Structure 1
Amino acid sequence: MERPVVYYVFDVLCSWCYGFSETMHQFHEDHKDSIDFRIMSGGMVLGEREGAIGDLPDAVKEGFKRVEEMSGRPFSAAFYEMLDKGEAQLSSLPGALALATLRTYQPDNAMAFAKRMQEAFYQEGLPPAQAATYGHCAEDFGMNSEDFMKLMVDKERLELVQKEFEVVKQWGITGFPTVVYQDKDKAYLLARGYVSREQLDENLKKIQELV
């Protein structure tokens, strides 16, 4: 029997995804025996949006406090120090390449790895545009950091990630996090933006009653 699928569309740089990551991690743990989970990178910061963290609009910087209040997940002193220094570069591509790499070799750990990548940025204050940050994360999953960084820059990996960005765009998803529930040929929006665990469970229950 074909199992339903939950697509979690996130971005490594998305602060609301960081706030949501513990909720999504637990949701995955609780439902992975009956639902297939697939995590995708949305490509939030690419092209003209790439640049130094210090160039972020004040509204975005002020939004970090809102994320903390809503989710209860704090940003570290190391992150705020990086923000104040303003030099770290922001790009969604390295994180997307890292996720695609880990997903290829350890698909069952993709959700946990996405959470770990965001912790590297928002808790450890590691630069999100540097491959070494993701090599560091991969070590927690039993992979050699140098080998992992080489796998990240494989041409096929880049093509896969670019196709992933296009699929997300075709789906009309422009904000993160977004969670989609698919059962056979029908798809339902499970969450758009940050929601509590209670709301996520309630949304799932309502959708499952429909199908």
Structure 2
Amino acid sequence: MKLVYIFDAYCGWSHGFSGTLHEVTSRHPALPVEVVSGGLFVGPRRVPIREFGYVQGANAKIAELTGAEFGDSYEQLFADGSFVMDSEAAARGVAALRQTAPDRAAELATALQYAFYVDGLSLSDPATYRTVAKAAGLDAEAILAAFAAPRTRAAAEADFRRSAALGVTGFPTLLAIDGDSVTPLAYGHATADEVDVRLAAVAA
């Protein structure tokens, strides 16, 4: 059995789920975790952040419910309103980090969200991946090369297809997959204890 975490690096609820994800993976270190980018802001949704007026209210609710931090630099980015969240670029970044350190995919996905939601860094900017790589003790040049490589763009597109094939309609979604059996463990928000109860039922 493995866990499959479908998220979007530009999704506030995914950012809010980071603490639960960390706790679940800490409690179950032997369970492999596959991280899949969902593609929230692609195509016609790739517009300036000011177009998403509901985001500030949603972020306040996320912070209240989960304790997730939304930093001053992010708030300034939102106040300016011109920033464009590009989930395809973010998915390439996730793929580049995942290729370099596959066993740390969940940790690195969380680090990317922190870079945006706390530090206000663009996930389209290669410099952000240099920062994340160095903080994680990874080879920054290898990750930057992977971020720009055609195969990484293909990996991002494959992630979007996998998310759709799994029937995911919102982020984050945490699944337990055992052979052909797919069991939802969390959708949008759940505590680590709630996930554990559902995981125990799957393993029973």
Question: Do the two structures share a fold, i.e. TM-score over 0.5?
Answer: yes
Residues in 2 aligned to 1:29 and 1:156: alpha-carbon distance in whole angstroms:
31
Q: TM-score, normalised by structure 1?
A: 0.91
Contact 1:54 1:83 in 2 (8 A): yes
Per-residue deviation, 1:136: 1.4
Equivalent of 1:95 in 87, 90, 97: 90
Residue type at the aligned position of 2:16: G
Q: Secondary structure at the match of 1:194?
A: coil
Tell me, which stretches of 5 or more residues in structure 1 are unaligned? none
Matched, 1:54 2:55: no
Q: Secondary structure at the match of 1:119?
A: helix
Matched, 1:127 2:122: yes
Say which is worse superposed, 115-124 or 155-164, in terms of deviation: 155-164
Aligned to 2:135: 140
Counting aligned pairs with the same residue, the percent is 28
Aligned to 1:44: 40
Contact 1:89 1:128 in 2 (8 A): no
Per-residue deviation, 1:127: 2.0
Q: Secondary structure at the match of 1:51?
A: coil
Aligned to 2:66: 71
Deviations 1:33-63, CA, capped at 9 Å, x for gaps = 2x2111111111111111212221x222210
Per-residue deviation, 1:142: 2.5
Equivalent of 1:152 in 129, 147, 160: 147
Matches within 5 A, 1:1-211: 4-33=1-30, 35-56=31-52, 58-209=53-204
Per-residue deviation, 1:131: 2.4
Q: TM-score, normalised by structure 2?
A: 0.94
Residues in 1 aligned to 2:58 and 2:141: alpha-carbon distance in whole angstroms:
35
Residues in 2 aligned to 1:194 and 1:182: alpha-carbon distance in whole angstroms:
19
Q: CA RMSD in A?
A: 1.4
Contact 1:52 1:88 in 2 (8 A): yes
Q: Secondary structure at the match of 2:131?
A: helix
Residue type at the aligned position of 1:7: V
Residues in 2 aligned to 1:50 and 1:132: alpha-carbon distance in whole angstroms:
21
Deviations 1:143-178, CA, capped at 9 Å, x for gaps = 354542232121111112111211111221120010
Residues in 2 aligned to 1:94 and 1:53: alpha-carbon distance in whole angstroms:
16
Matched positions, count: 204
Contact 2:4 2:174 in 1 (8 A): yes
Contact 2:100 2:143 in 1 (8 A): no
